Amino acid sequence: MKALTPSILAVVVCSTLVSTSSEASSHREAPNISRFPTLDSTDFYVFNSYEAGRDDYVTFIANYIPLQDAYGGPNYFAMDPDATYSIHIDNDGDAVEDITFAFNFTSMLPNDNQGVQLTVGPEDNQRTVSVPLKNVGGVAAGDDSAANFSESYTLSMISGPQRTGTSTALSNTTTSSTTFNKPLDYIGDKTFGSMADYQTYADQFVYQVSVPGCDSMAKVFVGQRKDPFVVNLGKTFDLVNYVPVEGDSAPGAGDGEGFPGGITQSAMNDDLADKNVTALSIEVPKACVTGEGNGVIGSWTTASLPQARILNPDATFAKPETNGGAMTQVSRLGSPLVNELVIGIGDKDKFSTSHPSADGQFADYVTHPSLPELLNILFKDAVNTTLGTDIETLAPTNFPRMDLVTAFLTGFPGVNQQATITASEMLRLNTGIPATPAESQSAFGVAGDDLAGFPNGRRPGDDVVDIALRVVMGRLCYPIPVAGEDTDLGLCTPEDASVGNVPFTDGAPVDASMIDSSFPYLKTPLAGSE
């Protein structure tokens, strides 16, 4: 095996991960969290900021409340006021958070939570009646007087473990207030005028934030955004109801010269094209989150609720229930697709409530994954019939799957591996690798000679699904071309993975042009009515 320098290894690793589509990573991924949609984290991103002039910053985006139909009135998609939503950062590699940014929300109606009221009826028989809608007229930048509902939040920075560390309330530098406001969801164009008008309105809710120990300001935004991911969602979870191999000579070629019957790249395969999400976005100076490690940070998002919830039999807006007891984690997301495609259904809820430091309990799902076996059951006979082959199994046969341990639990040396290596699931970012401008980004991340992309962190425009599928099916077992020279990673061999070099795909394309190039990066949400 040829000796690998860190820079070569970075290219080697990511050259294995050539992909053609992306999938939202966490939409209703576990049985219990499907009962708590307001706490369901759909996707998580960590990347070196690529907005011009923001080279020294890192951006974190945690999306919540999946599969939002823009027209989902009259109540739309408020956050849970009893929950704590967190973004965690491990900067020394011990799988324990060193910094946490915690968001807590409050929902309010005007007039002491009675809402806007109208006088209804003739003079001799009048009643004062609260209106049923979240707005009673148009809403615009600088004028939200017609809003009949609002959300605000506090943002705390916790140094050390979240439960025992030191918490500091962060302030809006414009008003010196510790309260931040969240924009109304995009109800529609009669309310806001147009998409451009809504974006102007939403821009008011991007705040400058002073962070303890930082010389420069952070930015924060919380609000509805267009779901940035594309996914053949229905067919994927219908026992992969398509041939998950590129059906053209090249992605999107339309020539049918790829795998016989394989899927062709098309925007029509995107089941999330008409969905929104709620994004919790914060951009922080790199120097304030890297600590004393090697510049690689691990990060994940969680949502927690008080342990006990008692419903109020005489519910009001202000008090629909009573909550008490210790905060209990009910949602967790770091790297994409782990709980969906790796963790067994009986342990999905346990994974959602677990901490990265305890991920050893899930090791069998990584060393002995079931997804390749399922794909073998679904497609082996069809592949052999179509190609006239006699492949014994499509699933890799190297056990334990150390290639997957590296991909999911430790990171790759020279790319996204921390100075201290603790096997744990989180999204790892090397903050020392410069960001790539939007116009130069490869949708394939490092695989497209773009070291600033996935799996070195994750940008909203990076592909992830095909990468995960190919790695799970054994791509790291094959020599990888580096500058025209095949290089063996030494993790496994081609004999271990009969289809490890097959271009798996879900057929739903995405690229960086679908994402904005400045904070908070995600596109303006879709309107509930045009």
373-386 confidence digits (pLDDT tens): 999 999 999 889 98
Give the pLDDT band (50/70/90) at residue 31.
low
Q: Is residue 128 part of a domain?
A: no
- Tell me, yes or no, whether 275 lies in a domain: yes
Interval 464-479: pLDDT, tens: 887 788 889 998 898 8
Confidence bin at 446 (pLDDT 50/70/90): low
Q: The domain containing residue 172 runs over which residues?
A: 16-115+138-514
Handedness of CA 140, 146, 151, 154 (dihedral sign): positive
Q: Which of the four pLDDT bands, split at 50, 70 and 90, describes residue 414?
A: confident
pLDDT score at 21: 34
* CB-count burial class (<10 Å; 0-12, 13-18, 19+) for 32: middle
Grade residue 504 by pLDDT with cuts at 50, 70 and 90.
confident
The pair of three-digit structure tokens given for residue 501, joined into one six-digit string: 């070099």
Name the band, by pLDDT with cuts 50, 70 and 90, for residue 32.
Answer: confident
pLDDT at 310 over 50: yes
Angle at 45 between CA 42 and CA 48, to 5 degrees: 170
Q: pTM to 2 decimals?
A: 0.91
pLDDT for residue 2 is more than 50: no
Indicate if the pLDDT at residue 451 is higher than 90.
no
Checking if the pLDDT of 22 tops 80, the result is no
Structural domain contains residue 495: yes
| Contacts of residue 476, Cβ cutoff 8 Å, sequence gap at least 6 | 16, 403, 406, 407, 489, 491, 492, 500
Q: Is residue 525 part of a domain?
A: no
Give the whole-angstrom CA distance, residue 81 versus residue 152.
9
Residue at 66 is within a domain: yes
Return d(Cα 431, Cα 421) in angstroms, integer.
17
Provide the sign of the torsion angle of the four alpha carbons 445, 27, 96, 343, taken in this order: negative
Confidence of residue 527 (pLDDT cuts 50, 70, 90): very high
The pLDDT value recorded for residue 24 is: 41
At 271, the amino acid letter reads: D
DSSP-derived letter for residue 339 is H
Residues 321-331: what's their mean pLDDT? 92
Q: Does 105 fall in a domain?
A: yes
Tell me whether residue 122 is in a domain. Answer: no
9 found inside a domain: no
Q: How confident is the model at residue 91 (pLDDT cuts 50, 70, 90)?
A: very high
Q: What percent of the chain has pLDDT over 70?
A: 92
Kindly tell me if the per-residue pLDDT of 49 is higher than 60.
yes
**Whole-number Å distance between alpha carbons of 205 and 185:** 12
pLDDT at 488 over 70: yes
Q: Mean pLDDT across the stretch 412-431?
A: 93
Q: Exposure pattern of 489-515 as b/e (b: 16+ CB <10 Å)?
A: bebbeeebbbbbebbbbbbbbbebebb
Cis peptide before 396 (omega within 30 of 0): no
d(CA 396, CA 368): 10
Q: Residue 317 — very low, low, confident or very high, per pLDDT cuts 50/70/90?
A: confident
Average pLDDT, the chain: 89
pLDDT computed for residue 12 by the predictor: 31
CA distance 474 to 394: 10
Mean pLDDT of 144-161: 96
Number of domains into which the chain is organized = 1
Q: What pLDDT, on the 0 to 100 scale, is given for residue 447?
A: 62
Q: CA dist 230 to 9, 43, 316, 403, 467, Å?
A: 29, 12, 39, 27, 14
* Interval 257-262 mean pLDDT: 90
Q: Is the pLDDT of residue 7 over 80?
A: no
